[in-house]
């Protein structure tokens, strides 16, 4: 960007600097010259629709919107004249009388760009007859409401949906005064292709799109915004969390139109209003077999004692530690240090450890150079892809922002999308080719694709063993044409990216991972572009700490298990069996779950918002999550708790 030529303009009589390629509005903003806007949103295409930013440009017959007008050297611009200000006010009056803008019961009141423009222009009344249209309100989405009565048709939602989210669910229907924002072919949002990421909500300058979980819970001015990072899925989105009275009101993308700014329904909505019952005090199973509240002292002493007891009686290896990869790196480190050093056991694993081992083995089978997870590329590489192969994953469900990147590549780079998954996968409907092989035949399919791609691109390495198309057809149950079509897409792509995920991990077949990597290598022209969609927000952080390196739990038959769940959700997994068989189970968790119900001691744990810490994203970038609210009284930080128990041993 810095290599753009500097230009000089005259704005309102002053010489100001800009860069070639800027619009007049960009130059104004860069020079602190305020020009009102409504349809403009930085990072989106400019359309010059609202006409608030109109300016006078010397030599132009008409007034022009500054948001679209290219700045050039020597341009003479006037942004404020009595006439322009009159027009702006008239336009505001038009907007206010066009639909039903009643600020006093609007969810956006106080956070509304239209309202603040009206204040700026002292719009005490409108002189036009009010139209009072009776427009519908779409409430069928779980999180979002579109109230068309408050819509000013600026198109920011439409553009953010198309350009940033890549989904292009929203667009305009009809025309003129009848124009309405609609989803798909006029579906209700809840029944449309909408992925409920909420980018439209954040883009909306008024209260036309509002969030069911945030509405009326507080205005920006009433609370405090803290920059944080979402720790849910490993994409690592930066967030701005608005907190009022120790309650989270709203979560926004820190940079909506920048990278990872759109967030997803998990990061934006699901965490704001969570009704899952919390563990608020330590619990100890009493003689009657019921869990009853206990003091921190009693609970931690009991745990310390039990550890000492088992260590003395059965040795340190009778104790195992399990930790969720949702925990920040600091907690993970503390826990692994505690288990390895204080307890002295080597039986330690993350809850998603088997996924790691599948990936790691696959990578070492593919390449012995020891780069491990570092052979993977960044998520942003998807945006430049012209072909995306998705294996065993529905990114829009597991890592929605990564899924959006694929959609953006599809709409903006005309990328073709191939989905390989034997499971039901709705992402297949968005693919150009959806290969759904018989369960277990994925390897054969990938082998056949390798063969076809290698034939077209370059001679294969000797180590590779391709599968003939005929064999693949037999094994997968797919048609020959379909396989060939997918292979053709891969081999003609200049910049293909391969994404794989939980479908590959659950198969626990490292060879499959190796096949994925081989195929990516064959198809690539400049370096391998592979991304694994790791299960949890800090999986990569946990794995890099070596917590999941050994296949501990498979061999272990522990008598005591210490599970640090934190705010992870209980899911059945490989790790459940040893827990089930253990004599004494400690669960440290934020939420009540079947696991806490069967534990002997339960310790409360803070949730993401109540702690701070580092997270490593799935492509290896470190993010900082911040404490935005105080935990309920009695809940202590996980690291502190572990330290206390350690002290007792």
Partner 1 sequence: MAKRLSSVDDLNKFREAAQSKLAERAKKIEVKVHLGTCGIAGGAKFVQDAFVKEVKSLKLTNVVITEAACIGPCEREPVVTVVHPQMGRVIYAEVTPEQVPNIVEQHLIKGQVVKEWLLDLESPTFKLQNIRIMHNQDMDPQSIEEYIARDGYQGLAKAVTKMQPQEVIDEITKAGLRGRGGAGFPTGTKWSFVRRAVGDEKFVVCNGDEGDPGAYMNRAVLEGNPHSIIEGMAIGAYAIGNVRRGYAYIRAEYPLAIQTFNNALAQARQLGLLGKNILGTNFEFDLSVFPGAGAFVCGEETALLASIEGKRGNPRQRPPFPANKGLLDKPTTLNNVETWSNVPQIIHNGAAWFASAGSERCKGTKTFCLVGKVNNSGLIEVPLSTPLGQIVFDIGGGIPDGKKFKAVQIGGPSGGCIPIGHLNTPVDYEAVTALGAIMGSGGLIVMDENNCMVDVAKFFLQFTRDESCGKCTPCRAGIPKMLEILTKITQGKGSMEDLAVLSELAEMVGSASLCGLGQTAPNPVLSTLRHFRDEYEAHIIDKHCPAAVCQPLFRAPCQHTCPVELDCPGYVALIKEGKYAEAYKLIRQRLPFPMSVGRVCDHPCEVKCRRAQVDESISIRDLKRMAADYAYEHGVEFVPPMKPRKPERVAIIGAGPAGLTAAYELAREGYNVTVFEALPVAGGMMAVAIPEYRLPKKVLKAEIDSILKLGVELKLNTRVNDVDSLFKEGYKAVFISCGAHKGDKMGIPGENVEGVYDAIDFLRELSLGKKPKVGKRVAVVGGGNSAIDAARSAVRQGAEEVHILYRRERRDMPAIDEEIEAAENEGIHIDCLVAPTKVLSENGKVTGLECVRMELKGFDSSGRRTPSPLSGPEYTYPLTVDTVIEAIGQRPDTSFMKDGVKVAKGGTITADPRTLATDKPGVFAGGDAVTGPKTVIWAVAAGQRAATSIKRYLQGKPLSPFVERDGYEPIAVSQIAPTEEEVKERARIQASEIESKERKSSYKEIVLAFRPNEAREEASRCLRCDLEVGGEE
Binding of partner 1 by 36 (CB under 8 A): no
Q: For residues 155 and 321, which CB has a smaller minimum distance to partner 1 in the complex?
A: 155
Q: Alpha carbon of 178 to those of 149, 175, 182: distances in Å?
A: 12, 5, 12
Q: Residue 61 class from Cβ within 10 Å (0-12 exposed, 13-18 middle, 19+ buried)?
A: exposed
Contact (Cβ atoms closer than 8 angstroms) between residue 478 and residue 421: no
182 makes contact with partner 1 (CB under 8 A): no
Query: What track of x and - describes contact with partner 1 for positions 615 through 634 (by CB under 8 A)?
Result: --------------------
Cβ proximity to partner 1: between 98 and 442 the closer is 98
Distance CA 417, CA 440 (A): 22
- Cα dihedral 175→181→183→186 (10° resolution): -40
Burial 252-270 (b: 16+ CB within 10 A, else e): bbbebbebbbbbbbbbbbb
Question: Nearest distance from residue 112's CB to partner 1, in Å?
Answer: 16
Residue entry with tokens 């993401």: 608
368 vs 414, beta carbon nearer partner 1: 414
CA–CA separation, 588 vs 586, rounded Å?
Answer: 7
The single residue among 34, 102, 119, 172 that binds partner 1, judged by CB under 8 A, is 172
Q: How far is the CB of 113 from partner 1 (least distance, A)?
A: 14
Nearer to partner 1, 74 or 129 (CB): 129
Task: Check binding of 59 to partner 1 (CB under 8 A).
Answer: no
Using rule CB under 8 A, residue 179 touches partner 1: yes
The whole-angstrom separation of Cα 150 and Cα 108 is: 10
Applying CB under 8 A, does 184 fall inside the site for partner 1? no
Site for partner 1 in 77-106 (CB under 8 A): 86-87, 90-91, 94-95, 97-98
Please tell me whether residue 123 binds partner 1 under the rule CB under 8 A: no
CA distance linking residue 318 with residue 554, whole number of Å:
13
Q: How far apart are CA 523 and CA 519, in angstroms?
A: 6
Interface residue with partner 1 among 59, 82, 129, 424 (CB under 8 A) is 129
- Using CB under 8 A, pick the residue from 1, 5, 62, 572 that binds partner 1: 62
- Taking CB under 8 A as the criterion, the residue among 37, 64, 416, 596 binding partner 1 is 64
Binding mask 459-478 for partner 1 (x = CB under 8 A): --------------------
Q: How do 348-350 and 224-229 pair as beta strands?
A: unpaired
- Any contact of residue 9 with partner 1 (CB under 8 A)? no
- The two most distant CA atoms of the chain are separated, in Å, by 93
Q: Does 273 bind partner 1 (CB under 8 A)?
A: no
Angle, helices 353-366 vs 510-523, to 10°: value is: 50
Footprint (CB under 8 A) of partner 1, residues 498-557: none
In angstroms, give the least distance from the CB of 68 to partner 1. 4
Task: Find the part of the chain contacting partner 1 (CB under 8 A) among 126-134, 186-194, 287-295, 455-463.
Answer: 126-134
Structure tokens belonging to residue 153: 């048709």
Residues 251, 264 contacting (CB under 8 angstroms):
no
What phi, psi does 562 have (nearest 5°)?
A: -110, 115
**125: contact with partner 1 by CB under 8 A:** no
Least Å from the CB of residue 64 to partner 1: 8
How far is the C-alpha of 198 from the C-alpha of 215, rounded, in Å? 13
- The reply on whether position 177 binds partner 1 by CB under 8 A is yes
**DSSP per-residue codes, 526-569:** SS--EEE--SSTTHHHHHHTTTTSS-HHHH---SEEEEEEETPP
CB 316 within 8 A of CB 343: yes
Residue 9 CB, nearest approach to partner 1 (Å): 16
DSSP β-bridge partners for residue 244: 247
Q: For partner 1, which is the closer residue by CB, 5 or 62?
A: 62
Does 152 sit near partner 1 (CB under 8 A)?
Answer: yes
- Residue 168 CB, shortest distance to partner 1, in Å, is 12
Would you say 152 or 165 has its CB closer to partner 1?
A: 152
Interaction between residue 288 and partner 1 (CB under 8 A): no
CB of 431 to partner 1, least distance (A): 22
Select from 27-35, 46-54, 494-502, 552-560 the region that touches partner 1 (CB under 8 A). 46-54
Residue whose token pair is 């998954």: 421
**Residue 625 main-chain phi, psi, to 5 deg:** -100, 140
Segment near partner 1 (CB under 8 A); pick from 3-11, 168-176, 506-514, 596-604 = 168-176
| Residue 12, number of CB atoms within 10 A of its CB | 15
Tokens of 307: 């550890």
Tokens of 543: 């794995």
Binding footprint of partner 1 on the chain (CB under 8 A): 47-51, 54, 62-65, 68-70, 86-87, 90-91, 94-95, 97-98, 127-129, 131, 152-153, 155, 171-172, 174-179
């Amino acid at each position: 960007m810095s290599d753009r030529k500097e230009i000089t303009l005259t704005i309102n009589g002053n010489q100001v600097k800009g860069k070639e390629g800027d619009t007049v509005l960009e130059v104004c903003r860069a020079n602190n010259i305020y020009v009102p806007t409504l349809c403009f949103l930085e990072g989106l295409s400019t359309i010059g629709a609202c006409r608030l930013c109109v300016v006078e440009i010397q030599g132009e017959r008409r007034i022009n919107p500054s948001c679209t007008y290219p700045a050039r050297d020597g341009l003479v611009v006037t942004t404020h004249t009595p006439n322009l200000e009159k027009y702006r006010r008239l336009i505001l009056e038009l907007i206010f009388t066009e639909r039903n803008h009643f600020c006093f019961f609007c969810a956006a009141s106080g956070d509304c760009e239209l309202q603040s423009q009206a204040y700026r222009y002292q719009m005490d009344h409108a002189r036009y007859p009010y139209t009072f249209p009776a427009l519908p309100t779409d409430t069928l989405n779980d999180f979002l409401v579109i109230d068309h009565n408050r819509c000013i048709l600026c198109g920011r939602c439409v553009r953010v949906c198309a350009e940033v989210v890549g989904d292009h669910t929203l667009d305009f229907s009809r025309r003129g005064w009848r124009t309405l924002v609609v989803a798909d072919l006029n579906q209700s949002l809840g029944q449309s292709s909408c992925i409920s990421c909420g980018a439209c909500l954040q883009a909306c300058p008024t209260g036309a799109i509002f969030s069911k979980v945030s509405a009326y819970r507080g205005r920006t001015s009433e609370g405090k915004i803290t920059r944080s990072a979402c720790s849910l899925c490993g994409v690592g989105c930066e967030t701005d969390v608005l907190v009022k009275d120790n309650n989270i009101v709203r979560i926004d993308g820190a940079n909506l139109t920048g990278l990872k700014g759109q967030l997803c329904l998990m990061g934006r909505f699901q965490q704001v209003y969570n009704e899952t019952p919390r563990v608020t005090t330590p619990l100890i199973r009493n003689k009657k077999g019921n869990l009853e509240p206990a003091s921190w002292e009693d609970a931690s002493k009991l745990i310390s004692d039990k550890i000492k007891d088992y260590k003395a009686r059965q040795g340190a290896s009778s104790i195992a530690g399990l930790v969720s990869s949702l925990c920040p790196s600091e907690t993970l480190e503390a826990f692994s240090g505690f288990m390895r050093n204080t307890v002295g056991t080597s039986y330690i694993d993350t809850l998603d450890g088997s996924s790691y081992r599948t990936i790691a083995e696959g990578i070492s089978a593919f390449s012995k150079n020891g780069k491990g997870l570092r052979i993977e590329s960044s998520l942003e590489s998807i945006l430049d892809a012209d072909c995306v192969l998705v294996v065993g994953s529905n990114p829009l469900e597991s890592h929605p922002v990564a899924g959006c990147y694929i959609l953006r590549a599809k709409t903006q780079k005309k990328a073709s999308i191939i989905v390989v998954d034997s499971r039901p996968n709705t992402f297949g409907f968005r693919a150009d080719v959806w290969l759904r092989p018989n369960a277990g035949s994925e390897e054969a399919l990938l082998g056949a694709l390798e063969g076809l791609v290698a034939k077209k691109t370059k001679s294969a390495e000797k180590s590779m063993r391709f599968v003939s198309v005929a064999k693949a057809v037999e094994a997968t149950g797919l048609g020959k044409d379909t396989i060939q079509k997918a292979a053709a897409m891969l081999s003609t792509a200049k910049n293909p990216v391969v994404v794989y995920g939980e479908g590959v991990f659950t198969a626990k077949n490292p060879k499959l991972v190796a096949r994925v990597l081989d195929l990516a290598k064959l198809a690539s022209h400049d370096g391998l572009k592979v991304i694994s969609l790791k299960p949890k927000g800090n999986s990569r952080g946990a794995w890099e700490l070596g917590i999941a390196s050994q296949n501990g739990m498979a061999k272990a038959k522990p008598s005591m298990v210490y599970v640090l769940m934190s705010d992870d959700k209980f899911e059945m997994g490989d790790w459940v069996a040893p827990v089930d068989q253990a004599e004494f189970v400690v669960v440290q968790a934020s939420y009540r779950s079947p696991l806490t119900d069967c534990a002997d001691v339960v310790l409360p744990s803070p949730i993401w918002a109540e702690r701070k810490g580092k997270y490593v994203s799935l492509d290896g970038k470190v993010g900082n999550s911040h404490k935005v609210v105080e935990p309920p009284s009695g809940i202590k930080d996980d690291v502190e708790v572990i330290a206390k128990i350690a002290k007792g041993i």
